[in-house]
Amino acid sequence: MKILIAEDDSLILKTIELCLKRDGFEIICCMDGLDAMEKIEQLNPDLIIVDIMLPYFSGLEIVGKVKQNKNPVPIIVISAMGQQTVVDEAMKLGADEYISKPFNIAALTAHIKRLTSMEEVVA
């Protein structure tokens, strides 16, 4: 199970990475939107976690682009301040779940498990 995480703060990225690795996921890390877009194309992750505010491409754009390419991969959006309008926008563009900072890692893993098991059922 490959998970791509795009988050511009290295420490936060690292923390999420380690937590998820501990749960047995394979992790791809990206620090900016451009990198994320490229890696999504190349590495075909099974799930994507993106921060809304990223350099070069915002999280919203990534969601929009991925969904427009008819890529069925589930996406979890992390919003820095969980402002409803932004989240709504992300969901409208096709994000599957959102989580707002500050968040509990346990909640994130729960979302991941739910979304990825759904994937398997569909497949």
Partner 1 sequence: MRWDSMIYDLITYVIFIYSGTQLLFYVLIGLYSIGATNKYANKNSLTDYKLLAVSPYAPSISILAPAYNEEANIIENVRSLLSIYYNNLELIVINDGSKDDSLHQLIAAYDLVKIDYFVSYQIATKPVRGVYKSKNPIYKKLVVVDKANGGKADALNVGINMASNDYIVCIDVDCVLEQDALLKLMKPFLETTGEKVIATGGVVRIANSCEIQRGRLLKVHLPKQYLPRMQALEYIRAFLLGRMAWSRINGLLLISGAFGAFDKEIAIKVGGYDHKTVGEDMELVVRMRRHMEELKLPYKVAFIPDPLCWTEAPASYKILGRQRNRWTRGTIETLGIHKKMFFNPRYGLLGMLSYPYWFFFEMCAPGVEFIGLVAFVIMAFFKLIYWPTFFAFLLFIITFGYLYSAFAIYMEVRTYNQYRRKTDIIKLLLTVLTEPFIFHPFVVLSGVRGYIDKMQNKSSWGEMTRQGLNKNARPAIAAAPVTVKNVLLQAQEN
Partner 2 sequence: MILLKTGFNDGFARHVKPVYMYGASVVFILVTIALVIATFYTLYIKKKKNSFKKSIGHTLEEWITEVIINESSVGVAVPENLEKLFKKPQARQLVIDELVRNKSSFLGSVSENIINLYYQLGLNVDSRIKLDDSRTHIQCQGIHELCVMEQKDQLQKVYRFTNSINKDVRIEAQTAVIQWYGFKGLRFLDVVSFPITEFQQLKLLELLRQLPFTNFSNFNKWLTSTNDTVVSFALKLAEHYNQVQVHKEAEQCLQHKNEAVRVQAVKTLAKIGDSKTAHLLTLAYEKEKFTNKLNILKELPKIAGDNQRDFLIVQLHEGHEYLKLAAAKVLAKCTSEGMEILEAKSYDTPVPYKDIFLHLKSEAER
Binding site for partner 1 (CB under 8 A): 34, 52-53, 55-58, 60-61, 64, 68, 79-81, 83, 85-86, 92-93
CA 29 to chain centre: 11
Using the 8-state DSSP alphabet, how is residue 69 labeled?
T
**Binding status of residue 9 toward partner 2 by CB under 8 A:** yes
- Indicate the residue among 24 and 102 with the shorter CB distance to partner 2: 102
- Indicate the residue among 20 and 95 with the shorter CB distance to partner 1: 95
50 contacts 66 by C-beta, under 8 angstroms:
no
Structural Rg of the chain based on CA atoms: 13
**Footprint of partner 2 on 63-92 (CB under 8 A):** 81-82
**Minimum separation from the CB atom of position 97 to partner 1 (A):** 19
**Minimum separation from the CB atom of position 90 to partner 1 (A):** 11
Q: What are phi and psi of 3, to 5 degrees?
A: -120, 130
**Binding status of residue 18 toward partner 2 by CB under 8 A:** yes
- CA separation for the pair 27, 50 (Å, rounded): 13
Residue 78: exposed, middle, or buried by beta-carbon count in 10 A (0-12, 13-18, 19+)? Answer: buried
Q: By CB under 8 A, name the binding residues for partner 2.
A: 9-12, 14-15, 18-19, 22, 81-82, 101-107
